[in-house]
Amino acid sequence: MHTQARAQDDDMSRQRVVVAGLGDVGVLTAIRLSRHADVVGISVRPALVSGQELGVRLSRPDDWARDYWIPFDRFRRLDRVRIIQGTLNGVDLAARTVSGQRDDGGTFTEGYDTLVISTGVSNGFWRRPTMQSAAEIGADLRAAHDRVAAARSVIVVGGGAAAVSSAANMATTWPDKRIDLYFPGERALVGYHPRIWKRIQGRLTDFGVGLHPGHRAALANGFAGEVITSEPVHWSTGQPPASAEAVLWAIGRVHPNTGWLPPELLDEHGFVRVTPELRVPGQPGVFAIGDVAATDPLRSSARNRGDALVSRNIRAELAGRRLRAFRAPGRRWGSLLGIQPNGLEVFFPTGHALRFPSWSVERVVMPLIVRWGMYGGVRKNRPLA
C-alpha cells in the first residue's frame, strides 16, 4: 500500500501508522496523525509517564504527576488512536509488521504502512521500558520519593539537567537536608550556554547545596545508576570517598531502547540512524524521532518540535511532496528546575531566560499552551470511585 504514491492526496485515512513507544514524543506524534490516519500506538504503560523533571518528581511527586503522568484516556485527541499495552520485541521490515507481548502475557502482531520509532532511551531508575500498571507506576514514584525524603543527607552525582534539578528541588523542598552535588567538569550544565550555569550556580549556593566540581565517580562494572544507593562514592579523580544516606545517580548513562530492532537500522551506539528528514535510510515508510533517533549530537528532536516535522513528513511522503529537514540548535535549552512555587523559568540556547509567574503557569501556560495547544485537550482527572 505504501508504494502507491498518491498525487496531491493528503488523505491518509486508510493508511495505518504504528507509533512504537508512547512517551513524550510518541504521544504528540500520535495526536498529530490521529486526524489523518488509522493510528495504533504501542506502549508499555497505560499512560504518558514522562522522563522529564526528575527533581520535581522526587521531591514533590503529586505536583509532578499532575503534569507528567497522564492516563491515555484523558487525552481527547487520542480517542481515535488504538492503543496496545505491550512490549515490542520485533519488527519484520519486509512484511511491514511489528510484534510484541501484551500486558496479559499474550502476543500481538500489527501491520503498518508507516512506522514511527519512538521508544526513547533508558536512564537511571526513572526511565525504564518496563511494563507497568497504574498502581505500579504510583508505587515506583512513591518509593523513590520516600527513599530521599527519609535520608538526612543526599549526594547527587552528575552535572546535567537531571542532577542539577534534583539537587535544587530537594534543597527547596527539604531545607534541613544536607545536599551535595558532585560533577566532573569545572562547571555543570556543560551542554547549555555558560550564562545559564552561572545563574543556576548562584541559586544552588543560596539554597545551601554543596557544589563539588572536578569529581568523576568510579562506577562498578556495568552500573548505570539504576538505583539510589547508600554506600560511599569513590572518585576516579583522586579525592577521598564521599558518603550520604542516599546517593542519587544522574550520570546520563542513557541506553537506547532498540533491542527490538534489527542492527542494520542502528548506529554504532545503538541509536536509530535517520536522514535529516527523520526517515530511516533505505526503509521507505519508517521514521524515527525523539531520544532514540540519531539526529544530532544532543539527539534533541523531541524538544525541538520533531513531532510536528515527522507528522508533516509522513503526510508529505504519502502525497509525493517534498520532505523538510530537522534543524537542531547547537545548545540545550529548556526549563531546568521545573515549575516552582514562584513560577516557571525557561532557559534558551542564547543563555537568556524567560520567567512565567505562578499565576500565568496555572492559568495560561499549563491549561492553554500545554494541555490545549500541545495536546489538543486533556480531560480533568476523574475522581476516584
Ligand X SMILES: Cc1cc2nc3c(=O)[nH]c(=O)nc-3n(C[C@H](O)[C@H](O)[C@H](O)COP(=O)(O)OP(=O)(O)OC[C@H]3O[C@@H](n4cnc5c(N)ncnc54)[C@H](O)[C@@H]3O)c2cc1C
What is each CA distance from 83 to 106, 151, 254, 261, in whole angstroms?
Answer: 15, 39, 26, 20
Q: Residue 260 or 356: which CB sits closer to ligand X? A: 260
Q: Residue 102: how many CB atoms within 10 A of its CB? A: 14
Q: Residue 85 or 242: which CB sits closer to ligand X? A: 85
Q: Residue 244 or 286: which CB sits closer to ligand X? A: 286
Closest separation between CB of residue 352 and ligand X, Å? 15
Spatial separation of the C-alpha atoms in residues 160 and 155, rounded to whole Å: 14
Closest separation between CB of residue 359 and ligand X, Å? 21
Closest separation between CB of residue 145 and ligand X, Å? 20
Closest separation between CB of residue 142 and ligand X, Å? 19
Applying CB under 6 A, the residues found at the interface with ligand X are 21, 23-26, 28, 42-44, 50-52, 87-88, 118-120, 127, 129, 161, 257, 260, 290-292, 302-303, 334-335
Helix 194-206 with 161-173: angle, nearest 10 deg: 20
Closest separation between CB of residue 272 and ligand X, Å? 11
Spatial separation of the C-alpha atoms in residues 328 and 321, rounded to whole Å: 23
Q: Residue 75 or 235: which CB sits closer to ligand X? A: 75
Closest separation between CB of residue 303 and ligand X, Å? 4
Closest separation between CB of residue 14 and ligand X, Å? 25
Closest separation between CB of residue 333 and ligand X, Å? 7
Spatial separation of the C-alpha atoms in residues 123 and 167, rounded to whole Å: 17
Burial of 106 (0-12, 13-18, 19+ CB in 10 A): exposed
Spatial separation of the C-alpha atoms in residues 103 and 29, rounded to whole Å: 23
Spatial separation of the C-alpha atoms in residues 381 and 377, rounded to whole Å: 12
Q: Which residue is nearest to ligand X (CB)?
A: 23
Q: Residue 74 or 234: which CB sits closer to ligand X? A: 74
Closest C-alpha among 295, 253, 298 to residue 159: 253
**Contact, 353 vs 53, CB < 8 A?**
no
Q: Residue 124 or 184: which CB sits closer to ligand X? A: 124
Helices assigned H by DSSP within the chain: 24-33, 54-59, 61-68, 134-150, 161-173, 194-206, 306-319, 358-360
Q: Residue 55 or 184: which CB sits closer to ligand X? A: 55
Q: Residue 59 or 257: which CB sits closer to ligand X? A: 257
Burial of 354 (0-12, 13-18, 19+ CB in 10 A): exposed
